[in-house]
Amino acid sequence: MHVITRLDWGGSAQNTLLTALGHDRTAFEPFVVAGRAGHWDAQGGDRATEAICLRLTEAGIRWVLLPSLTREVNPLKDLVTLWRLFTLFRKERPAVVHTHTSKAGALGRLAAWLAGVPVLIHTPHGHIFYGHFGRLASRLFLRIERILARGTTRLIALTEAERDEHLACRVGKAEQFSVAPSGIDLARFREAASEGLRARPPGFDCPSEAFVIGSVGWLTEVKGHRFLIEAFAMVKPLHPNLHLVIVGGGGLRDAYLALADRLGVHGSVHLLGERQDVPECLAGMDLFVLPSLNEGMGRALIEAMAAGLPVVASRVGGVPAIVEDRRTGLLVPAGDAGALASALEELVQKPEWAKELGVAASRSIGERFSSEAMVRAIESSYDKAWAASGRERL
């Protein structure tokens, strides 16, 4: 049973969806439990949830939505969710409960302990130890994660760097961790960006001669788009044909448009909102930027690299395990608009080198990052966890 806070277009939800769809059905019977978007309408909200549930139904996978399971901390709703999960686990008697993300990870693991589930797996999909909340709240969540890890059979990190960061924060033990990179549909992104298919998709509103700097991610503080807009404003006067395109919904759209207006680049900054044609959007970009302040792996980064784009990314979380600085992309300090502007300027000034970086990036995203490889790695973790429980092999 997979338990996740939201099923939307975000990376953790897509990771969970592809895992459920990809399970070896001769050995595993997947069941997906998720919450509702609540006040969180980024990444497609309830519309995305409905579309994903339809895909699960078409694949013959059972699912259930718990309206009380929302991203916001709400003691009453959280208690209702805990009870609902407990009764569901007692009824279904799953061999494995695999929780995803922090909120579902906390309530799901606690309910699974109470229900006597033999194997508990948790994938953090990054962490909330910094960048998301204030210092006091971050410390509280860190303490909770340390306690929860003690009763978790196995923890799955997206990268070795994410695993090491958890260990440095004393969350879990080294022997508890497996690493399973978040997989994507490699063929879809490579095909969309293949020679002859690059074109500006509808909504870009950029001149044909424009050099497009792009990014994909929901518009929240932790994704760092404010620094990207500031960096873009520094470089734009030197290169009038530059345009910035950001794909993703979120509550900061108006604030970012106002920022672009104050910096004098309003006409060259395009916020496209939610899009279902992300491969085609990437194909319309010349350069990709991941300016995140905190990132477990960066699914959008993997997609852009698979599409053959030169990339600039923040040196945070698992990103340095994906991007080799100055060989498959450029790494810059998080939250430093000046450093980001310098990296953008360097790649714009050296188009041939930028192209070489894009080719190297695409080659580096091999089968390890396919959805099939991800599912097999996760299922291997289940087998190891089950063996450690002293029971016969799954």
User: Domain residues for 132?
Assistant: 2-183+370-388
Strands 287-290 and 311-314: parallel
Q: Are 182 and 373 a contacting pair, CB within 8 Å?
A: no
Strands 154-157 and 119-123: parallel
Whether 174 and 70 map to the same domain: the answer is yes
Whether 167 and 245 map to the same domain: the answer is no
Tell me which of 150 and 189 has the higher pLDDT. 150
The beta-carbon contacts of 380-384 under 8 Å, at least 24 apart in sequence, are 380/178, 381/121, 381/154, 381/156, 381/178, 381/180, 382/28, 382/96, 382/98, 382/119, 382/121, 384/154, 384/178
What is the model's pLDDT at position 249?
85
Residue 286 lies in a domain: yes
Per-residue pLDDT at 368 exceeds 90: no
Mean pLDDT (whole number) for 250-277: 93
Whether 128 and 220 map to the same domain: the answer is no
Whether 139 and 206 map to the same domain: the answer is no
The Cα 161–Cα 345 span in angstroms is 28
Secondary structure in 3-state letters for 237-250: HHCCCEEEEEEECC
pLDDT tens track for 41-87: 566 778 889 999 999 999 999 999 999 998 888 899 999 999 999 99
* CB burial string 310-327: b at 16+ within 10 A, e below: bbbbbebbbbbbbbeeee
pLDDT tens track for 211-261: 999 999 989 898 999 999 999 999 999 999 999 999 998 889 999 999 999
Q: Find the range with the poorest average confidence among 153-162, 370-379, 382-391.
A: 382-391
Token code pair at residue 324: 């080799």
Whether 45 and 77 map to the same domain: the answer is yes
CATH number of the domain encompassing residue 70: 3.40.50.2000
Q: Find the range with the poorest average confidence among 108-112, 115-119, 207-211, 293-297.
A: 293-297
Residue 393 lies in a domain: no
Residue 131 lies in a domain: yes
Token code pair at residue 185: 């549909």
**Residue at token pair 């894009």:** 358
Residue whose C-alpha is closest to residue 265's, from 241, 290, 284: 241
Residue 11 lies in a domain: yes
Residue 394 lies in a domain: no
Whether 157 and 223 map to the same domain: the answer is no
pLDDT tens track for 288-329: 999 999 887 788 999 999 999 999 999 998 899 899 999 999
Residue 175 lies in a domain: yes
Residue 55 lies in a domain: yes
- Compute φ and ψ for 326, nearest 5 degrees: 70, 10
Whether 78 and 210 map to the same domain: the answer is no
Q: Are 11 and 44 a contacting pair, CB within 8 Å?
A: no
Secondary structure in 3-state letters for 221-236: HHHCHHHHHHHHHHHH
| Intra-chain end-to-end CA distance of the chain, in Å | 14
Whether 131 and 250 map to the same domain: the answer is no
Whether 158 and 200 map to the same domain: the answer is no
Q: Are 256 and 224 a contacting pair, CB within 8 Å?
A: no
Whether 309 and 295 map to the same domain: the answer is yes
The Cα 339–Cα 331 span in angstroms is 9
Q: Are 88 and 359 a contacting pair, CB within 8 Å?
A: no
Q: To which H or E segment does residue 332 belong?
A: strand 330-332
The Cα 211–Cα 240 span in angstroms is 9
Residue type, position 307, single letter: A
Mean pLDDT (whole number) for 324-346: 97
Whether 331 and 380 map to the same domain: the answer is no
Q: How high is the mean pLDDT of the chain?
A: 90
Tally the domains of the chain.
2
The Cα 56–Cα 21 span in angstroms is 7
Whether 248 and 127 map to the same domain: the answer is no
Residue 133 lies in a domain: yes
